[in-house]
Amino acid sequence: MTAEWETTLQKIENNEADAAEFHRQMTTYAGAITQELLNTSINNDNALRCPKCKNTHILVWKKVVKCPDADCGWMQFRTVCQVHLQTSDIEKLIKNGKTDLITGMKSKSGNVFDAFIVLGDDAKTYFDFPKAKFKKSKR
């Protein structure tokens, strides 16, 4: 990438490229990289250890949360049944073994449901459905 930049800068110097366009592209690139970095990690003060290997701190990305240890391979998608898990959901899942109630999830058949996401002893995730509240009918 830096070789491309150097080539473009050389072209600008030789009046073969537009400096303003290069500046606009660099500003856009810097903004995108900054936003990606801001969205990818949990503050080091709250660093979470991998629930499977317990050795390394997990990496939180836009679409997945994963253990950087290739031998471990633990990973959790951030979108579950069409609902994006927030960083706070991931923190609760790993620290407490269970998220708060996640509402508005959709099954493959399109049914909407609410459930807790639970981290099992095997470091796999499962749904825990809230207890159904039955109304007593008047007779």
Q: Where are the alpha helices (DSSP H) in the chain?
A: 2-13, 19-40, 87-96
pLDDT of residue 43: 47
Query: pLDDT by residue (tens digit) across 34-92?
Result: 777 666 554 444 578 999 999 889 998 889 999 999 999 999 999 999 999 999 999 99
Domain residue spans of the chain:
2-40, 44-128
Reported pTM: 0.62
- Amino acid letter for position 89: D
> Which residues, in sequence order, are bridge partners of residue 128?
116
100-130 pLDDT, tens per residue?
A: 999 999 999 999 999 999 999 999 999 999 9
